[in-house]
Amino acid sequence: MSEFTLTTVEEFEAATNRLLETGAKVGADSWQMRVKNQTPHCKFGENGVCCRICSMGPCRITPKAPRGICGCDAHGIVGRNFLRFVAGGAATHSDHGREICNTLGHTEAGGTYQVKDPAKLIRIAKEWGVETEGKDIYDLAHEMSEIALSEYGKNHGISRWLSRAPEHTREIWHREGIEPRAIDREVSCAMHMTHMGNSCKPEALIRQSLRNGLSDGWGGSMCGTEFSDVLFGTPKEIQTEANLGVMVEENVNIVVHGHDPSLSEIICDLADSKEMQDYAKTFGAKGITVSGVCCTSNEVAMRRGIPMAGNFLQQENVVLTGACEAIVVDVQCIFPALGPLSKCFHTKFITTSPICQMPDSEFIEFDTGSAAEKAKKIVMLACENFQNRKKELVYIPQMKHKAWVGYSVEEIVHKLDGVTNSQVDTTGSTRPLLECVTSGVLRGAVAMVGCNNPKVRPDTAHIEMMKKLIAKDIIIIASGCSAQAAAKAGLMDKAAKDLCGAGLKRVCELADIPPVLHMGSCVDISRMMILAAELSKDSGLAISQLPVVGCAPEWMSEKAVSIGNYVVATGLDTFLGVVPYCAGSDQVAGLLTDGIRDWVEAAYTVETDIDKLCELMIERIEQKRAALGI
Angle CA 229–122–414, to nearest 5: 55
Number of H helices, E strands in the chain: 26, 16
Q: Does residue 350 contact residue 381 with C-beta atoms inside 8 Å?
A: yes
Among 24, 56, 65, 119, binds ligand SF4 (CB under 6 A): 56
Applying CB under 6 A, the span of 52-60, 83-91, 166-174, 550-558 interacting with ligand SF4 comes to: 52-60
Span interacting with ligand SF4, options 46-54, 117-125, 336-344, 543-551, rule CB under 6 A = 46-54
Asked if 57 touches ligand SF4 (CB under 6 A), the answer is yes
Among 480, 550, 553, 564, binds ligand BF8 (CB under 6 A): 480
Confirm or reject binding of residue 448 to ligand BF8 (CB under 6 A): no
Residue 96 CB, shortest distance to ligand BF8, in Å, is 9
Q: Which stretch binds ligand BF8 (CB under 6 A): 153-161, 212-220, 557-565, 620-628?
A: 557-565
Handedness of CA 510, 516, 520, 522 (dihedral sign): positive
Which partner from the list ligand SF4, ligand BF8, none does 51 bind, CB cut-off 5 to 8 Å by kind?
A: ligand SF4
Nearest to 492 by CA among 402, 552, 409: 402
Q: Which of residues 307-366 bind ligand BF8 (CB under 6 A)?
A: 312, 333
Nearer residue to ligand SF4 within complex by CB, 55 or 423: 55
What, of ligand BF8, ligand SF4, none, does residue 294 touch, CB below 5 to 8 Å by kind? ligand BF8
Ranges of beta strands (E only) in 201-246 are 238-242
Q: Are 183 and 148 in contact (CB under 8 A)?
A: no
Q: From the centroid of its chain, how far is CA 590?
A: 27
**Closer Cβ to ligand SF4, 59 or 447, answer by number:** 59
User: Which residues contact residue 328 at a Cβ distance below 8 angstroms, ignoring those fewer than 6 apart?
Assistant: 254, 255, 256, 257, 263, 264, 267, 350, 352, 378, 382
Q: DSSP letter string over 288-300?
A: EEEEEEHHHHHHH
Judged by CB under 6 A, the stretch of 51-59, 105-113, 370-378, 507-515 that binds ligand SF4 is 51-59
Is the CB of 71 or the CB of 157 nearer to ligand SF4?
A: 71
Alpha helices in 421-459 (DSSP H): 431-438
Is residue 175 at the binding interface for ligand SF4, with CB under 6 A as the rule? Answer: no
The SS3 assignment for 541 reads: coil
Contact region with ligand BF8 (CB under 6 A), list: 149-157, 346-354, 402-410, 555-563: 555-563
Contact in structure between 193 and 83 (CB atoms under 8 Å): yes
The answer to whether 295 touches 258, Cβ cutoff 8 Å, is yes
Check: CB of residue 157 under 8 Å from CB of residue 181.
yes
514: preceding bond cis by omega (within 30 degrees): no
94 or 544, CB closer to ligand BF8?
94
Query: What are the distances in angstroms from CA 33 to CA 29, 61, 322, 358, 527?
Result: 7, 31, 19, 21, 37
Please give the full DSSP string across 604-628, using - where no structure is assigned.
EEE-S-HHHHHHHHHHHHHHHHHHH
Nearest to 487 by CA among 454, 520, 510, 456: 520
382 binds ligand SF4 (CB under 6 A): no
Kindly indicate which of the ranges 67-75, 86-94, 128-136, 305-313 contains the residues binding ligand SF4, using the contact rule CB under 6 A: 67-75
Does 544 contact ligand BF8 by CB under 6 A?
A: no
What's the rounded Cα separation, in Å, for the pair 302 and 305? 6
Q: Residue from 68, 79, 245, 406 that binds ligand SF4 (CB under 6 A)?
A: 68
Which secondary-structure segment (H or E) carries 326? strand 326-329
Binding segment toward ligand BF8, per CB under 6 A, in 30-38, 200-208, 227-235, 554-562: 554-562
Distance in Å, CB of 195 to ligand SF4, minimum: 9
**Contact track, ligand SF4, 176-205, x by CB under 6 A:** --------------------x---------
Residue 515, interface with ligand SF4 (CB under 6 A)? Answer: no
Q: Is 59 in the site for ligand SF4 (CB under 6 A)?
A: yes
Pick between residue 59 and residue 523 the one whose CB is nearest to ligand SF4.
59
169, 543 in Cβ contact below 8 A?
yes
Distance, CA of 32 to CA of 20 (rounded, Å): 9
For residues 241 and 308, give the distance between their C-alpha atoms in angstroms, rounded to a whole number.
6
**560 contacts ligand BF8 (rule: CB under 6 A):** yes
Which option in ligand SF4, ligand BF8, none does residue 304 bind, with CB closer than 5 to 8 A by kind? Answer: none
Pick out residues in 449-478 that bind ligand BF8 (CB under 6 A). Answer: 450-451
Q: Nearer Cβ to ligand SF4, position 68 or 584? A: 68
Peptide bond into 63 cis (omega under 30): no
Q: Which stretch binds ligand BF8 (CB under 6 A): 102-110, 184-192, 531-539, 556-564?
A: 556-564
Interface residues toward ligand BF8, by CB under 6 A: 259, 294-295, 312, 333, 450-451, 480-481, 521-522, 557, 559-560
Interface residues toward ligand SF4, by CB under 6 A: 51-54, 56-59, 68-70, 72, 77, 196
